[in-house]
């Protein structure tokens, strides 16, 4: 049976073939009740493998695993959405988990990026990260015993060349999340960033897939489950001493 206080908000859970989907089912297995956020217009704009009922199917699978689930669509470029997601979670109990798996990612370079695209990337990838963390923290009690009372994890990337606004806004995300590890210590927050490296969630062609495997000492591509397993560890009591870190969980890709 789920503990009533284990409620997490998870963004980016709109496609079954995604890291977000693996995060959702993994946390459900560990007893977390969930608010699952997605934004179908963005998924449709990407044009990756998806079906109209993907988000509902992810929620249904989590419920089959015993989780209470609120499925809440919302465009994270809207500054009102982050607080609304945390408020939806409070209907299930105190929100003590936040996983940010959403992003805006449109390929463009220094010369081809538009101001509108730049602003949307920073609204979704950086501003929404800040506002989600802020909304989570505002409903947390202060603690004096050093016990980990809440967990925050965000996904990042090193990819910037010819994907400039994405990479630049992910760099801002890194700083926001690591700042939370210090600024929110009095609320028992543990905050970390995961860089999962290249994971084929439908965007790779054969050439990219072959290059990524060749550049990974582990000899294979990462999977959504690889990232979900690390998040599950960080959300567990065993992972509570890891804090304020940018973790590379990628089979050695960054080393090669």
- Tell me the C-alpha distance between 62 and 111, whole Å: 43
Q: What is the pLDDT of residues 136-153, one digit of tens each?
A: 999 999 988 888 899 999
Higher pLDDT, 96 or 254: 96
pLDDT in tens, 26-37: 999 999 999 999
pTM of the model: 0.95
Q: What digits encode the pLDDT tens for the residues 7-64?
A: 999 999 999 989 999 999 999 999 999 999 999 999 888 887 778 899 999 999 999 9
Q: Is 231 helix (H, G, I), strand (E, B) or coil?
A: helix
**Nearest partner of 5 among 151, 180, 194, judged by Cα:** 151
**CA-CA-CA-CA torsion sign (79, 189, 18, 219):** positive
For 197-241, write each residue's pLDDT tens digit.
888 887 888 898 898 999 999 999 989 999 999 999 999 999 999
- The sign of the torsion formed by the CA atoms of 231, 201, 79, 126 equals positive
> Around Cβ 155, how many Cβ atoms within 10 Å?
24
Question: Band of the pLDDT at 182, cuts 50, 70, 90?
Answer: very high
Domains of the chain: 7-248 (3.40.50.720)
Residue 256 is predicted with a pLDDT of: 57
E strands within 12-94? 33-38, 69-73
pLDDT band at 3 (very low <50, low <70, confident <90, very high): very low
């Amino acid at each position: 049976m789920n503990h009533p206080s284990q409620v997490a908000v998870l963004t980016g859970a709109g496609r079954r073939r995604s890291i977000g989907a693996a995060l959702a089912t993994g946390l459900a297995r560990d007893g977390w009740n969930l608010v699952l956020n997605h934004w179908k217009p963005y998924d449709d704009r990407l044009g990756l493998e998806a079906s109209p009922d993907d988000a509902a199917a992810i929620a249904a699978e989590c419920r089959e695993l015993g989780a209470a689930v609120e499925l809440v669509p919302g465009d994270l470029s809207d500054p009102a959405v982050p607080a609304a997601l945390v408020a939806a979670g409070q209907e299930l109990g105190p929100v003590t988990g936040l996983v940010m798996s959403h992003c805006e990612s449109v390929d463009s370079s220094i010369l081809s990026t538009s101001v509108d695209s730049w602003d949307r990337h920073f609204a979704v990838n950086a501003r929404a990260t800040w506002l989600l963390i802020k909304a989570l923290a505002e409903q947390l009690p202060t603690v004096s015993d050093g016990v980990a009372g809440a967990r925050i994890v965000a996904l990042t990337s090193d990819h910037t060349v010819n994907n400039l606004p994405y990479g630049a806004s992910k760099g801002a995300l890194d700083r926001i999340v690591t700042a939370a590890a210090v600024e929110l210590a009095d609320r028992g927050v543990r905050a970390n960033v995961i860089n999962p490296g290249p994971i084929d969630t439908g965007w790779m062609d054969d050439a990219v897939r072959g290059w990524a495997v060749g550049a990974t000492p582990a000899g294979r591509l990462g999977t959504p489950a690889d990232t979900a397993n690390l998040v599950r560890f960080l959300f567990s009591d065993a992972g509570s001493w890891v804090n304020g870190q940018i973790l590379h969980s990628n089979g050695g890709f960054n080393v090669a």
